[in-house]
Structure 1
């Protein structure tokens, strides 16, 4: 398993990130932002898939300050509870700084002018939105992002393309929250929203009981086309 060290923005430490490299010259870089389950097999699989498409793919261990290297399975009840506990302890503002540090590391690894995008899932979807509003990333994609409504006041800061995939039957994101996202972002010139009626949270997971293949393949195809347009 290929890993890299990423220096913090403050320069006072470093953290691990899983890295998957393409066969030839990279088309760009994709930061894969974890769910609440850590950089587990599913997230590493996402990286491997992006590398197969020609991108440098990096998944930073964002829980490194509270439980470095943790890998959890959402289909195991005890591990799901552990993951929810980690999310409650996680400093998301600090997490964005670590994502920004990863963006810098990715740009350093690319030829001059190489662009960097991010793709996040669940908590990572929320962080992808925050990355779009708080960093200079070139493009961002969030899948079934949680708790976006308290962040929507930051929409004025979205300066580069953002795509959000919304699970219509998401048991973590009720209809009123989904409506708030649409009301705030439908007319934003940099934002594209896609709805997946009847789909629950986690429908694009690489593995496990949450995956819904047809919806996952549609969302992933849209993401591939979006990033090809904006970071190639």
Structure 2
């Protein structure tokens, strides 16, 4: 099942879809899983299922819904990759953050959990950083977030823990951007950065050609420990 729940906007004038996976055991908290530019596809749903297996409610909102509800694309199919880039160019990130806040509000009210974290990938990694600065999220994780160097003026607003995974050979986040992220965030008391030497963008995807098994396992283990510490 692709999208299996509906979330009201902050304004209450519309609803958007989301995929939810629920823990079958004692509940540790909730995690908002923020999509790549490829929509809430199989890989993002698998991320949710993994977090549910660890004891969380995991929810992935369809952030492209204002453009076209239910977009699902495969990064390994070249025409679909280019479609995704086109959707990203049209996407209103500020509206996306409002939808993430709506998702946080929804999961707290509907699922009865107060602690909510978020984790995002690619575009979602950027949005996870914005979520840390602009919402009341309890903990945030970003994988290979793009353009975070342009958001550093927002770092003073970060009140809760943030973890960023940075592959050093990221074709979308070059050495100068990585250096700026370290210069701007290494001394931030709430932010932790991990570098992954020689790895490229998308190394922790669940499926497809981009995945690096060893690095993905390392990064995901760090993410699991981070959420256990800050959402438990």
Instruction: Provide the residue aligned with 1:203 in structure 2.
Output: 203
- After TM superposition, the structure 1 = structure 2 runs for residues 56-95 of structure 1, keeping only pairs within 5 Å, are 56-95=57-96
Instruction: Compute the displacement of 1:150 (Å).
Output: 1.1
Q: Secondary structure at the match of 1:178?
A: helix
Deviations 1:34-65 (A, max 9, x none): 00000000000000000011100000000000
Instruction: Provide the residue aligned with 2:4 in structure 1.
Output: 3
Instruction: Provide the residue aligned with 1:98 in structure 2.
Output: 99
- After TM superposition, the structure 1 = structure 2 runs for residues 28-43 of structure 1, keeping only pairs within 5 Å, are 28-43=29-44
Structure 2 unaligned runs (5+)? none
Instruction: Compute the displacement of 1:84 (Å).
Output: 0.0
Deviations 1:72-112 (A, max 9, x none): 00000000000000000000000000000000111113336
Following the alignment from structure 1 to structure 2, what is the Cα–Cα distance between the partners of residues 33 and 221?
18
Q: Secondary structure at the match of 2:166?
A: strand
Instruction: Provide the residue aligned with 1:226 in structure 2.
Output: 226
Following the alignment from structure 1 to structure 2, what is the Cα–Cα distance between the partners of residues 110 and 191?
28
Report the TM-score, using the length of structure 1 for normalisation.
0.98
Aligned-residue CA RMSD (Å): 0.8
Instruction: Provide the residue aligned with 1:117 in structure 2.
Output: 117
- After TM superposition, the structure 1 = structure 2 runs for residues 168-179 of structure 1, keeping only pairs within 5 Å, are 168-179=168-179
Instruction: Compute the displacement of 1:26 (Å).
Output: 1.6
Following the alignment from structure 1 to structure 2, what is the Cα–Cα distance between the partners of residues 104 and 6?
9
Following the alignment from structure 2 to structure 1, what is the Cα–Cα distance between the partners of residues 220 and 69?
28
Structure 1 unaligned runs (5+)? none
Following the alignment from structure 1 to structure 2, what is the Cα–Cα distance between the partners of residues 122 and 111?
29
- After TM superposition, the structure 1 = structure 2 runs for residues 189-200 of structure 1, keeping only pairs within 5 Å, are 189-200=189-200
Following the alignment from structure 2 to structure 1, what is the Cα–Cα distance between the partners of residues 159 and 111?
22
CA contact (8 A) 1:26 1:110 kept: no
Q: Secondary structure at the match of 1:140?
A: strand
CA contact (8 A) 1:33 1:121 kept: yes
Report the TM-score, using the length of structure 2 for normalisation.
0.98
Does 2:122 align with 1:127?
no
Paired residues in the alignment total 231
Following the alignment from structure 2 to structure 1, what is the Cα–Cα distance between the partners of residues 204 and 66?
27
Instruction: Provide the residue aligned with 2:187 in structure 1.
Output: 187
Instruction: Provide the residue aligned with 1:25 in structure 2.
Output: 26
Instruction: Provide the residue aligned with 1:166 in structure 2.
Output: 166
More divergent stretch after superposition (128-137 vs 25-34): 25-34
Q: Secondary structure at the match of 1:166?
A: strand
Instruction: Provide the residue aligned with 1:12 in structure 2.
Output: 13
